[in-house]
Amino acid sequence: MRFHDAASPSSSLASRYRDVRDTTSALAAPLGPEDCTVQSMPDVSPTKWHLAHTTWFFETFVLARARPARAAYDARYGLLFNSYYEALGERTPRAERGFLSRPTLQEIVAYRQAIDEEMDRVLARGIDDDVASVLEVGLNHEQQHQELILTDIQHVLSQNPLRPRYAPAPPALVRRDKGERPPLVWHHEPEGLRSIGHHSSGATGAGLFSFDNETPRHRLFVPAFSIASRLVTCGEYLEFIEDGGYARPELWLSDGWATRRKEGWEAPLYWQKEQDGEYLTFSLHGMMPIDRHAPVAHVSLYEAYAYASWAGARLPTEAEWEITSERCSIASGHFVESGLLVPRPLDAGADKKVPHQMFGDVWEWTGSAYAPYPGFRPLAGALGEYNGKFMCNQMVLRGGSCFSPANHLRRTYRNFFPPGARWQMMGIRLAKDET
């Protein structure tokens, strides 16, 4: 069993741990205690709960392995901050996390500080491979919650009639909807036997880690297809709305049409039609006019499917998306580090020979159900509940968003949500069969 000590390259785990934890705290910093307690719907968790749950994860899965004889910080916290790990006992129902007025935000901050100090001491002494692999899961897990902090607080603030903003719009945020729309070009891929999925699971180090649901790498036959060079824009989606897209059942999946009628959907989440017919949208910068050249966001799989049908196309499979992404650099993506916190329009002069916006801006719905890859094996123990047990009634999204940390994403990364979800930063890329 190899040992990770402070003199080895793996000591970077300590600095990465601090970087991840500090980033989470920075994302929560613009919020007041009242903001951090609200749960605006069952799918949204209060910011305070995210801060506590991610800390509980490190205490439960990392410190308990590194120091088996240690006493829990507070034995009651498992009931409050366990998310869905049945093997670890009872927990507060997800829809009731907003009832947890206690512990206070101040107490949760103290909890974070105490666990961070203990983690610092453990990492300074050195950890073995088994603990390091679980720590890597924990770091990636917290980065997922960083994104959730932003998506959830956007929904929370949107329910306030004052439409408060999370942060002022940065000077770099420039609308581009008055000029030429970036052209949509179709990129063709021939049929063939291709490989998708990550080469390894659970390894430590930048570029090595993957979640278990990304493995094993495997081959499959992919028919010829074409995929759009960019994401669907707000202006294009507005044309769908104006053409009666929300009133034409022939465009929709049956369950999608029933959901649209039940929920009264007439536009993407956060869009608001003004008396003059123009649309505004709620963002983390407050209410803003829609940018017609920016990627449309906050649409469900049902809406994405209906739009694709209206456009004479379809959604790409996740295999098609991953194959196409091999031609693109993750570094070119637009992620949370930009500080824009909204999807960015593509330059009208962007190179037409390569696909764009594959990474960042918005998560891209695929037409693929979230299912295990051939030979999939979940992680051992309670961590095996992380991904595998959700492989039913969910659809795959790819690519990350403007809320995602850049170093968290991989081209093999599989996000998944139920088809009716809209509060995440979700958008659309088109594909079609090759004729």
CA–CA dist 265, 163 (Å, integer): 20
pLDDT digits (tens, 9 = 90+) for 139-168: 999 999 999 999 999 999 999 999 999 999
C-beta of residue 432 within 8 angstroms of C-beta of residue 315: no
Place of tokens 């603990």: 131
**Residue 218, token pair as written in the block:** 């495997």
**Residue 102, token pair as written in the block:** 């206690």
Closest CA to 129 of 259, 13, 274: 13
**Residue 12, token pair as written in the block:** 């970077």
What is the fold of 3-158?
Answer: Four Helix Bundle (Hemerythrin (Met), subunit A) (1.20.120)
CA–CA dist 35, 127 (Å, integer): 37
Q: What is the DSSP letter of 348?
A: T
Neighbours of 61 (CB within 10 A): 20
DSSP string for residues in 315-337: PPPHHHHHHHHTTS-GGGSB-GG
Q: What is the DSSP letter of 191?
A: -
Query: To 5 degrees, how large is the angle CA 341–CA 345–CA 349?
Result: 145
Convert 406-434 to b/e letters by CB count within 10 Å (16 or more is b).
bbbbbbbbbbbbebbbbbbbbbbbbbbee
Q: Sign of the C-alpha dihedral, residues 207, 213, 214, 216?
A: positive
Neighbours of 2 (CB within 10 A): 8
Q: What is the DSSP letter of 295?
A: B
pLDDT the model gives residue 12: 87
DSSP string for residues in 353-390: TS----SBSSEEEEEEE--PPTT--PPSGGGGGTTGGG
pLDDT below 50 — which residues of the chain?
A: 1-10, 201-203
Q: Sign of the C-alpha dihedral, residues 298, 302, 305, 310?
A: negative
Q: Under CATH, which number does the domain 186-433 receive?
A: 3.90.1580.10
Closest CA to 55 of 100, 11, 117: 117
CA–CA dist 322, 283 (Å, integer): 29
Task: Look over the chain and give the mean of its residue pLDDT values, rounded to a whole number.
Answer: 94
Parse the chain into domains and list their residue ranges.
Answer: 3-158, 186-433
The continuous run of DSSP H or E covering 145 comes out as helix 129-158
398 forms bridges with which residues in the sheet? 364
C-beta of residue 395 within 8 angstroms of C-beta of residue 369: yes
The amino acid sitting at 407 is: N
Closest CA to 331 of 411, 414, 396: 411
CA–CA dist 398, 321 (Å, integer): 8
CA–CA dist 79, 405 (Å, integer): 29
Helices first, then strands: H and E counts in the chain = 10, 14
pLDDT the model gives residue 4: 36
> pTM of this prediction?
0.95
pLDDT the model gives residue 204: 52
Contacts of residue 435, Cβ cutoff 8 Å, sequence gap at least 6: none
CA–CA dist 283, 287 (Å, integer): 6
pLDDT the model gives residue 102: 97
CA 102 to chain centre: 28
Neighbours of 179 (CB within 10 A): 11
- Give Dmax over CA atoms of the chain in angstroms: 68
CA–CA dist 398, 372 (Å, integer): 16
The continuous run of DSSP H or E covering 71 comes out as none
C-beta of residue 19 within 8 angstroms of C-beta of residue 406: no
pLDDT digits (tens, 9 = 90+) for 272-320: 999 898 999 999 999 999 999 999 999 999 999 999 999 999 999 999 9
* 3-158 and 186-433: identical CATH topology: no
> What is the separation, in whole angstroms, between the first and last Cα of the chain?
54
pLDDT the model gives residue 11: 58
Place of tokens 């869905």: 84
